[in-house]
Amino acid sequence: TYVVIENCIACKYTDCVEVCPVDCFYEGENMLVIHPDECIDCGVCEPECPADAIRPDTEPDMEKWVEFNRKYSELW
Ligand code: SF4
């Protein structure tokens, strides 16, 4: 899965949301999140982000971000 990290805070672009084929972006408190179970790992959103906030969970130390993204996406 891909997840959104803190670089997203205060970013006003929503290009990522528009390109996602499965609509798995959700609004968190002050940033967007990706539902980790709904993301199909296509990678289309990653280059759209001007803040470099969208990362694959295969990067080191991403467990807390996966849980953060899950928590806020499941509030909807
Ligand atoms: Fe959506 Fe693909 Fe990005 Fe996952 S990787 S959030 S499915 S655009």
pLDDT tens by residue, 4-55: 999 999 899 999 999 999 999 999 999 999 999 999 999 999 999 999 999 9
Mutational pocket test of ligand 1: of 4, 17, 22, the residue with most ligand atoms within 8 Å of the beta carbon: 22
Q: Output the DSSP codes for 23-71.
A: --EEE-SSSEEE-TTT-----SSGGG-TT--EEETTSTT-HHHHHHHHH
**What is the mean predicted confidence (pLDDT) over 56-72?**
98
Residue 56 Cβ < 6 Å to ligand 1? no
- Higher pLDDT: 69 or 10? It is 69
Residue 44 Cβ < 6 Å to ligand 1? yes
Ordered by start, the domain boundaries in the chain are 2-73
In angstroms, the CA 42 to CA 76 distance is 23
Task: Supply the ipTM of this predicted assembly.
Answer: 0.95
Considering the segment(s) 2-73 as one domain, its CATH architecture is 2-Layer Sandwich (3.30)
Provide the pLDDT for residue 76: 87
Query: Binning pLDDT at 50, 70 and 90, where does residue 68 land?
Result: very high
